[in-house]
Amino acid sequence: MLLLVVGVLVGTIATAGRSARVRENVARVELHRIHRVAEAVASGRPSAEVVDVARNELRDLLELQDARFEPSSEPDDDSLPRFGRNESIELQREMRFAMKDGGRAGFELPPEGVQLAVLAHGQQVGRFVLTPSPGVATTLEERLAAVAIADQVGAVWSPP
């Protein structure tokens, strides 16, 4: 009986360790995505190139079908749900829970898409319109990274 208890305990500890390593690796990848956009900003690349880098990072980070940037000084309209500054999805009619690799949990983005505001000096200068892949979850941390990427674009935005 003692051997069984020890075996279960060792298995639980091993599983917890693997889970922690997965979370650490995912966090490292998300940080590298933000860094790649920040590096494009810091190196003085034109704003259009920074937008392209950000768009690609958003598409890969959130496993999107598509991501496009729309410059605009108008605030987000209510035609699409939107990323909130607190990583929530505002105006989403229903939430669909899903699991990711490594046992991480999250919510699917709305099937009609979602908008992510790009702000410069507190004013909206554009938005990313994100088209999700069905059945793909996004975690709170991924949504936070997406907002940080959009903020990097806002830091260099100047209309073409």
Domains plus CATH for the chain?
A: 2-156 (3.30.450)
Q: Is the pLDDT reported for residue 73 higher than 80?
A: no
Question: What's the rounded mean pLDDT across residues 92-109?
Answer: 74
The residues, ordered by sequence, that sit 6+ positions from 47 with a Cβ below 8 Å of its Cβ are 153, 156, 157, 158, 160
Residue 117 has pLDDT above 80, yes or no: yes
For tokens 């900003």, what's the residue? 41
Calpha distance 147→154 (Å, rounded):
11
pLDDT at 16 > cutoff 60: no
Q: Which residue has the tokens 């690609």?
A: 56
State yes or no: pLDDT of 29 exceeds 60.
yes
The pLDDT of residue 152: 94
Q: What is the mean pLDDT of residues 121-137?
A: 92
Token pair for 57? 């990072």
Q: Is the pTM of this model over 0.85?
A: no
Instruction: Over range 64-93, report the average pLDDT.
Output: 82
Mean of per-residue pLDDT scores for the chain: 81
**pLDDT number for residue 32:** 82
Closest CA relative to residue 98, chosen from 67, 65, 133, 146: 133
